Amino acid sequence: MNEMILLKLGELVLKGLNRRSFEDKLQANIHRRLNGLGQFRVYTRQSTTYVEPMNGDCDMDGAWEAMKKVFGVVGLSRARACEKDKDAILAACREYLDEQLSSARTFKVETKRADKTFPMTSIQLSQYVGGELDELYPNLKVDVHHPELTVYVEIRDYAAFVHADPEPGAGGLPVGINGRAVSLLSGGIDSPVASYMIAKRGVSLEMVHFFSYPYTSPEAKDKVIELARLLTPWCGHMTIHVVPFTAIQEELRRSCPEELFTIIMRRFMMRISRAVAQRIGAKALVTGECLGQVASQTMEAMNVTGAVVDLPILRPCIGLDKEEIVQISRKIGTYDTSILPYEDCCTVFTPRHPRLRPLPGEVELAESKLDIDAMVQAAVDGIERIRV
């Protein structure tokens, strides 16, 4: 039988009557990730999703790498299917795992017997396969506590499967099962990580980026597009809504107190993002804010910033240290792009002494001389939409 990929499900198995909807969403996401890699059959049985190539033209290596980034999967294995017969299982182990068996020094066999009609117990089958392999490979010694190699045997409904140690999956919930949100994507380290973290909780995303040409360069915009592209293996395809923000920032510089400039600027970002969310049917906004990291991320500042919208603002990085955020950005492949020296709009007209604990009343007073609705509408009308 062909090699296939076994995907172990995570939180999905804890769901009740709506579990099927989670499994259906996961399978739909898997099919999208496999597009262009060949024809695969994808199905779920007994808390395991099977990715089975239908012919020899399938790119198994590409499929394997794609499945590592599918949210909803906690572990995955490349496995060989065989008949549910002890000798067929032994032969599959020898053929499929020969390289690992020949190079390891210690091993054990673990059997999971989901099909209880199989005539041998799990322990009996493990002892049989382990004993035969011990005889066939002189380099091997049985170590049931700390083996260098574990040979896994799974007896399931339609076949038996053999594989070596599984690799960890992406975890989380299938993207899209928890609705849609708008993520504010800058060119920094934090916002791509926040997008990844909220997508891991089953949220599909569209991005909003604020672009202040000529104060920020076209390279800064290209950098953000590349960050979004790097997120697509995890988050799926998305649209970037590029907002022309120069006119708003210049008006704020002319009309508002310098120490409140960043807070008022972020309030406009929230208003515009809210308008985008309303247009696409998103139910929340996502930011990369981390408590106390900069002046605009104190509790008082975030309270004033979020007061202008009626949607939940999700801040998955809120309690992380910077080093923790950096580690995640390295893991998902966005760090090297995030640190490229192209500044985003948040660095334009940065006040020398920003207000750390602004009061709602003073910010509203400073905004009272602005035509807020017209400024927001002009920015929304000028949005450029880029699909990645």
Q: Directed axis angle between helix 218-235 and helix 190-199, to 10°?
A: 20
Sheet arrangement for strand 239-244: 313-314, 285-286, 180-184, 204-211, 239-244, 384-387
What type of residue sits at position 140?
A: L
Please give the Cα distance from 371 to 354 (Å, whole number). Answer: 23
Both 122 and 197 in a single domain?
no
CATH code for the domain of 213: 3.40.50.620
Domain containing 196: what range? 180-387
Residues belonging to the chain? 388
Is residue 290 within 8 A of residue 302, CB to CB? The reply is no
Dist CA 43 CA 24 (whole Å): 9
Indicate if 132 and 218 belong to the same structural domain. Answer: no
Same domain for 160 and 219, yes or no, is: no
For the whole prediction, is pTM greater than 0.75?
yes
Whether residue 175 is contained in a domain is answered as: no
| Pairing status of strand 313-314 against strand 285-286 | parallel
Residue 355 located in a structural domain: yes
Contact 316, 228 (CB under 8 A): no
State phi, psi for 364 to the nearest 5 degrees.
-65, -35
**Which of 170, 204, 234 is where one domain is finished?**
170
Instruction: Among 135, 170, 205, identify where a domain stops.
Output: 170
Residues 6+ apart with CB under 8 A from 159: 1, 81, 82, 83, 84
pLDDT at 349: 76
Say if 223 falls within a structural domain: yes
Cβ proximity of 347 and 294 under 8 Å: no
Residue 112 bridge partners (DSSP): 154
Asked if 140 and 183 touch (Cβ cutoff 8 Å), the reply is: no
CATH code assigned at 106: 3.30.2130.30
Residue 125 tokens, joined: 């089958």
Residues 198 and 146 both lie in one domain? no
What are the start-end ranges of the H helices in the chain?
Answer: 19-34, 60-67, 86-96, 98-103, 122-136, 190-199, 218-235, 246-255, 261-280, 299-306, 322-332, 335-338, 360-367, 372-381
Count the Cβ atoms, other than its own, within 10 Å of residue 334.
25
Asked if 10 and 78 sit in the same domain, the reply is yes
d(CA 366, CA 388): 38
| Residue 261 vs residues 182, 220, 303, 344: alpha-carbon distances, Å | 23, 22, 16, 16
Q: Does residue 112 fall inside a structural domain? A: yes
Give the residue from 115, 149, 146 showing the smallest Cα distance to 130.
149
**Bridge pairing between strands 160-163 and 73-82:** antiparallel
d(CA 128, CA 336): 50
Distances, alpha carbon 103 to alpha carbons 89, 110, 139, 161, in Å: 20, 19, 8, 21
Tens digit of each residue's pLDDT, the chain (388 residues): 579 999 999 898 888 888 999 999 999 999 999 999 999 999 998 889 999 999 989 999 999 999 999 999 999 999 999 999 999 999 999 999 999 999 999 999 999 999 999 999 999 999 999 999 999 999 999 999 999 999 999 999 889 999 999 999 999 999 999 999 999 999 999 999 999 999 999 999 999 999 999 988 999 999 999 999 999 999 999 999 999 999 999 999 999 999 999 999 999 999 999 999 999 999 999 999 999 888 889 999 999 999 999 999 999 999 999 999 999 999 999 999 999 988 777 777 788 888 889 999 999 999 999 999 999 999 999 999 999 9
202 and 69, same structural domain? no
Residue 253 C-alpha from the chain's centroid: 37
Domain shared by 29 and 91, yes or no: yes
Closest CA to 101 of 153, 137, 141, 154: 137
- Same domain membership, residue 155 and residue 271: no
The reported pLDDT for the residue numbered 224 is 96
Same domain for 67 and 143, yes or no, is: yes
Query: Do residues 140 and 101 touch, judged by C-beta distance below 8 A?
Result: yes
End residue of a domain, out of 170, 199, 214 = 170
Give the integer Cα–Cα distance in Å for 355 and 352: 10
What local confidence, expressed as pLDDT, does residue 312 receive? 97
* Domain membership flag for residue 211: yes
Do 196 and 141 belong to one domain? no
Q: Note the pLDDT of residue 1.
A: 55
Task: Give the per-residue pLDDT at 296.
Answer: 86
Do 138 and 202 have their domain in common? no
Domain count, the chain: 2
Q: Examine the domain organization and report whether 129 and 203 are in the same domain.
A: no
Identify the pLDDT of residue 23: 93
Measuring CA to CA, which residue among 152, 139, 72 is closest to residue 109? Answer: 152
Considering Cα of 123, then 132, then 120, then 43, what sign does the dihedral take?
Answer: positive
Contact indicator for 307, 360 with CB cutoff of 8 Å:
yes
